[in-house]
Amino acid sequence: MFTGLIEATGLISSLQGSDESCRLVIGSDTLDFSDVMTGDSIAVNGVCLTATEVSENEFQADVSVETLRCTSLGKLQVGARVNLEKALKVDQRLGGHIVSGHVDGLAKLENKQKHGDNLLLNFSVPMGLAHYIAKKGSVCLDGVSLTVNEVDGAEFSVMIIPHTASETIIESYEPGDEINLEVDLLGRYLERLLQKQEMAVSNTDAGQGTGLTLEKLIASGFIKGSSD
């Protein structure tokens, strides 16, 4: 579990593998690795990876074919700069929002504009993810927790303050870039609960109530009816 508050950026120092899988080595002079152990989770551009080896200023992680297919990690090259966040501890502040590190899809940067000292970024997303994004709601882009500024169909915008731009890789984005997107986890659970409620109503309307009733017990032979 993560917060979407980037702790440091790192550089890809080694990349080995094929189209099926790859092994990344990521170094950072600013991330504190003293409390990171083999098997711990680290979010790399919003993707939860398991550290398989850890040293003083770098770690190694294996990336599966599914992760390469669903995220932008498959496009990384040696020397690329990435966002890093260590897994959340229970005694830490949840300063961003709840982030799982499981990327839902890719958002495409359509437009990048300067607004005073800030950056206004406009993204498009697959239609299957658009309904999870709400004005003033939260999204996670390359591991960064951001507030949605505006929504228009399958497009949304976010405003980036100078601190966020300088402490992450966001400033380097250019139109056409595809960014790892994780929608708000709470929205996914809410949708599932609503689906379950609709199914229950549908079953009840069809005479198939979801609860245990006297009629069901009688019909199944567990108890005798009043006429027996």
Q: Is the pLDDT of residue 138 over 60?
A: yes
At 185, is the pLDDT very low, low, confident or very high (cuts 50, 70, 90)? confident
DSSP code at position 92: S
What integer pLDDT is reported at residue 193 of this predicted model?
77
Q: How far is CA 71 from the centre of its chain?
A: 10
Question: In the predicted model, is pLDDT for residue 117 greater than 90?
Answer: yes
**Given this model, what pLDDT does residue 214 score?**
53
Burial category of 72 from C-beta neighbours within 10 Å (exposed 0-12, middle 13-18, buried 19 and up)? buried
Count helices and strands (H / E) in the chain: 5, 12
Percent of the chain with pLDDT over 90: 71
The model's confidence at residue 205, banded by pLDDT at 50, 70 and 90, is low
* pLDDT over 70 (residue 68): yes
Please tell me whether residue 192 adopts helix, strand or coil conformation: helix
Q: What is the pLDDT of residue 215?
A: 64
How far is 27 from 147, CA to CA, in rounded Å?
29
| For residues 183-197, average pLDDT | 79
Over residues 123-141, the mean pLDDT reads 95
Does the structure show a pLDDT above 60 at 207? Answer: no
- Find the radius of gyration of the CA atoms of the chain: 23
Q: Give the C-alpha separation, 124 to 19, whole Å.
A: 27
How does DSSP classify residue 139?
E
In the predicted model, what is the mean pLDDT of residues 106-112? 98
Answer for the pair 133, 127: CB distance below 8 angstroms, yes or no. Answer: no
Q: How confident is the model at residue 208 (pLDDT cuts 50, 70, 90)?
A: low
| The token pair that represents 157 in the structure block | 């915008």
Please give the pLDDT value at position 92: 77
- Please write the tens of the pLDDT for every residue from 7-62: 999 999 999 987 678 999 999 999 999 999 999 999 999 999 999 999 999 999 99
- Residue-range domains of the chain with CATH: 8-86 (2.40.30.20), 105-187 (2.40.30.20)
How far is it, in rounded angstroms, from Cα 10 to Cα 30?
8
Grouping H, G, I as helix, E, B as strand and the rest as coil, residue 221 is coil
Token pair belonging to 72:
């932008």
